[in-house]
Amino acid sequence: MSTKISDYKYSLFFFVITAIYSLSFSVNILRVTDDNFRFFDRVDEEMIIGRLMASQLESPFAYSGLPGSYVFQYYKNDDGSLREKVLEYDEDGELNIRSKIETTYNDYITQQQIHEGKYNAYMTQPGGQGIMYSLLQETLPVDNGVKLQIFRLITILLSAMFLSLFMTWIYKNFNLTVAIVTFLLSAFIPIFILFGYSLWWALWSYYIPFTVLLLVLDRRKRKGVELFDNRLLLYIAGLLFLKFFFTGFEFITSVLVMSVCPIIYYLILENKSLKSNIIYFVKSSLAAVSGVLVGVAFLMTQIYFLAGSLSAGVEYLQGAFLRRSSYSEMMDKISIFDVLDRHLNREVFRFDWNTDLTIKYSTLLLIIGLLCLLFVFLKKKTSLLQTRNYLALISITAISILGPLAWITILTQHAYTHSLDIVVWYFPFCFFGFAVIGVGVNLLIERGKSIFLQKH
């Protein structure tokens, strides 16, 4: 009976948190950012619209299913005649990008027929999110405007659900106070609102390996069965392939680190021999890398069918990496410390109703670090901190900072020039850090209760 009650509590918590996240991603209910969040990075999202247009005009797998955009000069009328596509230009003669993007969205929504269009494919990701929506649009008996809203709703719900699953895991493994604090701190992160609404970024895809592995290991732990076996290695490889299928190389180094964090957490929790822990960690890491490599092979196959040669794919991906990494020419004058300085001086929280109420990432990092050290110091004096899961949380919080650092130190140019790369701090370091803060709040509450009971 008590198990059923607990299940109901966890389910209720999950649905409430999912609803709040969904409202936040869709209508900015918590006023975390301004109302322009719906127009975030439409330059990239336009390639999903291009994929949907290619699907309707040709087939869901036209141009190897890759995302991209159409370049064309004329529309085709119902009677077969042509009319010219009109685009706006700035005073200096440059194409107005915002006007171009708005035209693309309008072309899709109104189902314009185009004449002799050229499809420019984007070849650094398979574009699985676009393929998924392309296949779905074939089955929906509604106009394109409604389809676009349905795709947006799917994106929002999936992102909300994956984040809520993590919050529910926190609730199960710690307590409600820690889970609520973790959720509240995450709910006021502006970058999540932007990513959670975007069809291109598909926030949920980055959390597929991390969240699913946490749930699988949690379930095995509660059933009392073997946690670490070869089947789990297959799960890891398959989940990393899924992530790569949907969003390719985007933040892939951080996701690789994030994917093994559940393994490390439960290895610490199980307290087995150091040798066996190291062996399984190495196996897990290799499984994660193999999943990505299968994804790369899939992408290379797509490029081969599009470009007609594997060398074209190799050259394209090599060039893309060199432009975005520490090997970029612009990085000759910029160090990794410059990138870190730029990231750490960014604001963590933002409230549209009070823009002064915020802290920087450097301050958050300091708070999390000090709390971890304090918990280690208080371990022998506080019974709560003596349980194994709190030790595992402190350890994985410290280790998970490698997630953002893996992206910043390897894809340095991208991390420096793109403000949206701040999201890597949630892959998954800040989430565990928020849980550490939640533990601190919980200890204060318990201490307050103890003092109150002593006096009364």
- pTM, 2 dp: 0.92
415 vs 4, higher pLDDT: 415
User: Using one digit for the tens of pLDDT, what is the confidence trace for 82-126?
Assistant: 887 777 777 777 777 788 888 889 888 988 888 777 889 998 899
Q: What's the pLDDT at 99?
A: 81
User: Using one digit for the tens of pLDDT, what is the confidence trace for 154-189?
Assistant: 999 999 999 999 999 999 999 999 999 999 999 999
Q: Is 118 in the same domain as 170?
A: no
* Residue where a domain terminates, one of 149, 179, 201: 149
Question: How far, in Å, CA of 45 to CA of 95, rounded?
Answer: 18
Q: What's the pLDDT at 133?
A: 96
Q: Is 119 in the same domain as 145?
A: yes
Q: What's the pLDDT at 428?
A: 93
Q: Is 140 in the same domain as 235?
A: no
Average pLDDT, the chain: 88
Number of other CB atoms surrounding residue 363 within 10 Å: 13
Q: What's the pLDDT at 36?
A: 81
Tell me the average pLDDT across 257-282.
Answer: 93
Q: What's the pLDDT at 321?
A: 78
Structure confidence at residue 315 as a pLDDT band (50, 70, 90): confident
CA distances from 425 to 13, 30, 205, 300, 429 (A): 25, 21, 16, 29, 6
Tell me the average pLDDT across 386-405.
Answer: 90
**Domain extent at residue 113:** 44-149
167 vs 389, higher pLDDT: 167
Q: What's the pLDDT at 70?
A: 83
Q: Is 198 in the same domain as 334?
A: yes
* Residue where a domain terminates, one of 102, 122, 149: 149
Instruction: Report how many domains make up the chain.
Output: 2
User: Using one digit for the tens of pLDDT, what is the confidence trace for 332-357?
Assistant: 677 788 888 999 998 887 665 556 66
Q: Is 17 in the same domain as 128?
A: no
Helix/strand/coil for 61: coil
* Residue where a domain terminates, one of 120, 149, 178: 149
Q: Is 130 in the same domain as 180?
A: no
User: Using one digit for the tens of pLDDT, what is the confidence trace for 184-228?
Assistant: 999 999 888 989 999 999 999 999 999 999 999 999 998 888 889
Q: Is 291 in the same domain as 190?
A: yes
Q: Is 399 in the same domain as 431?
A: yes
Give just the sign of the alpha carbon dihedral 204, 209, 211, 215: positive
Question: How far, in Å, CA of 456 to CA of 445, rounded?
Answer: 16
Q: Is 66 in the same domain as 88?
A: yes
Q: What's the pLDDT at 386?
A: 65
Q: Is 49 in the same domain as 31?
A: no
Q: Is 340 in the same domain as 256?
A: yes
Q: Is 287 in the same domain as 244?
A: yes
Tell me the average pLDDT across 41-65.
Answer: 90
